[in-house]
Each structure stands twice: as structure tokens, then as C-alpha cells.
Structure 1
Amino acid sequence: MLLGTAFVAALGGLNQTTYGAANFVERYLSAIADDDLATAITTPGVALDDDELTAMGVPTDISTAMLRSDVIDAGPEDVRIVDDVKHEDGTHTVTASYRLDTAILQTSFEIRAIDPLYGLLNRWEFIESPLAVVDVTAAHNPLFTVGDLTLDTRATKSGDELAAFTQTAPYLAIAPAAYEFGFSDTLVAAVPVPLATEPGVRAAVTVDAQPTADFVKRVQTQVDSYLDGCAAQTVLQPSGCPFGIEIDDRVLGDPVWSIVTYPPVTLTAGETAFEMPATDGMAHISVEVQSLFDGDKSQLEEDRPFRLALSATIRPDGSIAIQLQQTS
């Protein structure tokens, strides 16, 4: 009799502590803090089915790529259960306080009992999944990084969507957690953007990729090469070029062009590409001419100003495509 009473008392103690509602929430938060996302996402009530995803207004094939270790920047620390309210229907509202990065936060979780373990020990699940949805806008470059992961916002897209200069895609993310989004490679870089996810809340972040100095240098090289090709044409009006000259006198010999000043390339993001505004340059022509009036011969030396604008995009193979625009 005493043994049975002791067993029941011990079982009751376990169900109030180790297998209690408050401990269920604490274990979930601790798993995130330990970057043990495999445990966190398999906690009962965390996973979302197709009906729940549809009700949230997100596609059923939403990316789960962020639900892995080495992605979060920080998890909840100094976790403390500040309240555990049991309701008449047996559900619990468990409120936890924790530190996320430098912020002190408090979240209430609604949980309910499910079939007990071995028919004896309490088991619980979240009534509403604590997962967050993060809408990532990758501006001017489809790739972004979060933690040690590099993702492509075009992964589930097709057709014309693939060509968009700015892409947006939703991702499931563990919450609460702190993330850092960014991107950096040879051609574009984005300033890192921090984001803290809240359980069950949809958030948005923009990774704003801008051209690097190397990108600008490569475009400058292409512009200079194009203008050198124009200068190599021994005609008064080089074909497809932003400069030329009309001469009323007779031209003796081949005109010789040179570039005095190459337009310095500057790039900013436009609607569909990185753009350089109309920028001044200077060409020079040297050619011998003969006056139609009196037959005098002279050497014409003249600077010819011009303006050049362009747009630049990055091809899938990483090369740069530029579209030149001559302006008056």
C-alpha cells in the first residue's frame, strides 16, 4: 500500500515538473538556444500541415530551408517561466521570459495535453505552431545568406518570375530566435540586417544588394574597351559610338581618334538593372583637311565631348551584361 502511494506521488511529481506544461515550453526554448533545431521542429505542435499553411496565406510548398542548425544568430537565453495558468478545458497558458540577443522579451504559449507517454506521463503540444514566416526580399540579387546558409529566392519560381531584378520569397523560421541576413560576393554586397522572429508572427526583411567596387571596375573596363574600339575606327562618324564630327572641308587621309577622358562609371540600382546616369566623356580627333574655299591645308585638332549612360546586369554564369545608351 505504501509502495503504491509512493509511486503515485512520484508520478504526480514528475507530471508537475519534468513532464509538466511549463517544462514542455522550457525544453522547446532550450532546444532553440542550443541550436538543436532537429529537436525544436519535432516538438509536438510545431510542424504545420497544408491546411494550416493555406490558412496563414502562404504556399504549401513554402521553403523549410531555414529550419536547420547553424542558421540562427542567437536563441532565447536566461529562460524563466513566469506563469502557468491551467484552464477549465485542461489547456495551459505558459508564459516565458527570456533574453534574445540584448532584448528582454516575454511570450505566452497555448498548449494542450496529448496521449500520455506509456499511459502515465504527461505529453503536450502547442495549440498554435510557434513557427514564424519570414518574407525575404532579395533586392537586386536573388541570393541571400542567413547564418551559414546561402539561399536563392527563385528556388520555387518559374517563367518570367525568374528574371525579376528584385525577388521576394517566404520561409518558415524557428521562433523565437535572432537572425542576421545579408549577402556578399565579388560583384554585389548587402549590409547585414538583423531580424528577431516572434512565435506565430509573420515578419519581413530586405537584403539590399549593391554593386561592389569590383563590379564597377569590371563595367569600367568594358566601357573603356568599347570606347577604344570606337576610337580605332578611322572615320568621321564611328559606327555605334557616342561621338563623331561633321567637316565641311575636304578630308585628307584617315581621321585619328583618341579618348581624352573616359566617363567614370557609377552604378545605382534601378527598376530592372544597375544604372549609370548620363556621364560626360571627351574624345579627340586629329585629321588633315583642305579648305574648299582656298585650297589651304591644315591639321584639325579638336576635342569632342560626349555623354554615355548604361545599365548593367549579372548573367546566370556570373558575367556582366551592359546595355549602352548614348545621350545628347
Structure 2
Amino acid sequence: MTDTTRTFRVRWYWWLIAAVVLLVMVGAIVSLAVGARLNADAPRAAVGRFLHALVDGKAKAALALAGAKVSPSDVLLTDESYAKATNRIRSFSIGPAVVTGDTAKVSAEIRQGDRTYKQSFDLTRAGKAYLVFDEWKLKPLDLTTVSADLETPPSLDFTIAGAKVDDPTHVSLRALPGMYEVRAGAEQQDLYAVDPFTLTAIGFGDATTKAPTISAHLTSKGEDAIHSAVDAWIDGCAASTELSPPGCPFEGIGDPGITYTNVTWSMESRPSFSVDYTYFDGGWTVASITDGSVTASADISRPSDGATGTATVDPIPFRFTGVGSFEDGTAQFTPSIK
């Protein structure tokens, strides 16, 4: 082997070593650059995973990513209920992250139904993956609460997004962004009903949405039934044989020392009355529109001297108010008379 060949091989080895070192350095620089870029985007990626889960209808996964604690009473925070919600988040775009130490803030533009709004998310550093890449997690989100006051008979059941409502007078539930339909049960729907309505949660971190008051309304059959119950009450009062019929809107006032028997009431004119369409405070309000009028006659006697005779009562006008309701499907009328 000549000296020239030996020199060429030595130089080739050094070039090979230099090339390997150069490649390692370049790879390290590229890895550091990619790692830095990934670390800078890590908070945005955490927000993206959360919002993607909502777009895909995965409520359980989204809530886990948000660190939300869910109890059995959170009936809207399930995949089943969320699948029935409409006007959910349909798309989003995420802005840059602002990192301060171990915390970050990310703003997103969210498109929900026909709305577009800004939403900010707070995150905390959760450690590193592979000793290099930062991991971030969302701070627990405050969820919007949807609510409604229910002015309905207590026996009426409700469901929201298919889940049973426990309180028959009030709905108040945490919800993910979306629109949730509330429906009344089928009981007595021929007499009264509640039209389906919706409650909407927009974004996160809002206070409880303004609670509408939802009232049961009478059907034509229900209104007729209460009218009949009121008429029956008026007729019962007119059929009384007492000078002061209990629970009735009219009475006669006798003279001291006189005994009244065989009292007969006669209806001079029937009152007209209205029945409110909507349920309120235990029933449907009934009130006179025009006065009714009655007269009466009675046998009288005076025990002090044994005198007897007949008395008549001049026409007595009367009005009334009260509440119509139903018990086991039968209309009832309760007058506001003490």
C-alpha cells in the first residue's frame, strides 16, 4: 500500500465523521425548532381537542378534557342528551396562545348555530411528554345553566332532551353549548297542555340564562269542563235552602228575632265569567264579567209572640272570583270566598 493511498483513506474517514457530526447538529437544531414550535402551539392544541370533541358530539370526552366534575343530576351532560341538542358548536378558529409562566390564555372564535362569538380559555402547564414537549390542560370551565319556571299542574311530567326533569316547578341544569327541547308528558293533554319549548346555552362561563315562565294552557275541552264546574257551583248555590248559603257569592240578611225557613232562591240573571287561558298559582283564574242577580223568599216566624208570615228579598247582585283546576281528570272550581 502506497503513502498516497493511505493519505486518501485517512482524509475520507475524516470527511465521513464530519458529515455525520453535521447531520446530527442539523437534526438537533431542527428538532429543537420543531419542539419549540410544538410547545408554543400546545395550549392551542389542548383547546382544539376540547372544541373538536364538542363538534363531534362527544360530551363525555369534552368534559373530561375540560376537567369538569359531573354528578348524576347533570342530566344534560351526557352523550345521549347532547346528541339530541340542536344549534351546537359547528366550527371554530383558534387564536395564538398567550403564555405567562405555567399558565396560558387562548382565545377562540366559535360558530354555534347562527351565532358567532369570542370565547377565552385558561390553561395550566401539566408537565412534559418525552421530557421535551410541554403538556397543557384546560382549567375547569364554568358551564352555562339553562333554566325555566314551570307554572303547571304538579302532576305533569317533563323531559328535557329526553331526560326526566325531577322538579315539576323549575328547570335548572348545567349544559354544554346547544339548544335543548323541553316536552311535557301526555297526562291530561286533552284538558290542558304545555307546548314544547327550547332552552339555549351559549358558550361557557355565563351566569344562569334568564328563566322564562312556561305555563300550561287549557284546551277547548278543558275550558268547557271548568265552565261546567262553575255553572254547577252557581246552580248549587241557587238550590240552597239557607238564608246564607256557605261558600256562595250571595246571602240574605235576616232581622233579629226572626226565624227563616223554607228559603227559596231564584236566579234573576246568570253572571257571565271568563276562564284564564294560562295556569297560574294552582289553577286557572275564573272571574265575573257581568253581575248575576238573585231573589229569595222564605217562611218567617217570630218566637217571641208566635207571629208567622212570608218574606221576600229584593234582587241581590253578585260577582265572584275563584280558581278552576282538575282532580283525576274532573274539573273543580274553588271560589275565593271565606
Superposition TM-score tier, normalisation by shorter sequence? 0.5 to 0.7
AA at the equivalent of 2:322: L
> In structure 2, the residue corresponding to 1:130 is in which secondary structure?
coil
CA contact (8 A) 1:307 1:326 kept: no
Shift, 1:36, TM fit: 1.8
AA at the equivalent of 2:264: P
TM-score (norm 2): 0.63
Q: Distance in 1 between matches of 2:254 and 2:142?
A: 73
Q: Distance in 2 between matches of 1:320 and 1:27?
A: 56
CA contact (8 A) 1:75 1:100 kept: yes
> In structure 2, the residue corresponding to 1:87 is in which secondary structure?
strand
CA contact (8 A) 1:130 1:200 kept: yes
Deviations along 1:272-325, one digit per CA (max 9) or x if unpaired, are: 7654445445365687999xxxxxx9xx9997542111135678x888775311
Q: 1:273 to 1:239 in 2, by over 3 A?
A: closer
Shift, 1:212, TM fit: 0.9
AA at the equivalent of 1:26: G
> In structure 2, the residue corresponding to 1:202 is in which secondary structure?
coil
Match of 2:173 among 171, 174, 181: 171
AA at the equivalent of 1:140: E
**What is the number of residues matched between the two proteins?**
291
- The match for 1:131 is 142
- The match for 2:46 is 24
Equivalences for residues 143-182 of structure 1 within 5 A: 145-153=159-167, 167=170, 170-174=172-176, 177-180=177-180, 182=182
Unaligned runs of 5+ residues in structure 1 are 49-60, 155-165, 291-296
% identical aligned pairs: 18
Q: 1:241 to 1:190 in 2, by over 3 A?
A: same
Structure holding more helix per residue: 2
Equivalences for residues 63-142 of structure 1 within 5 A: 63-69=73-79, 70-71=81-82, 72-81=85-94, 83-116=95-128, 123-127=135-139, 129-134=140-145, 136-141=147-152
Which structure has the larger Rg? 2
Q: Distance in 1 between matches of 2:332 and 2:31?
A: 75
Q: 1:200 to 1:140 in 2, by over 3 A?
A: same
Deviations along 1:118-162, one digit per CA (max 9) or x if unpaired, are: 7777643112x22324262414347765433342347xxxxxxxx
CA contact (8 A) 1:34 1:75 kept: no
Q: 1:105 to 1:278 in 2, by over 3 A?
A: same
Shift, 1:219, TM fit: 3.2
Q: Distance in 1 between matches of 2:266 and 2:242?
A: 9
Shift, 1:108, TM fit: 1.9
RMSD: 4.9
- The match for 1:255 is 264
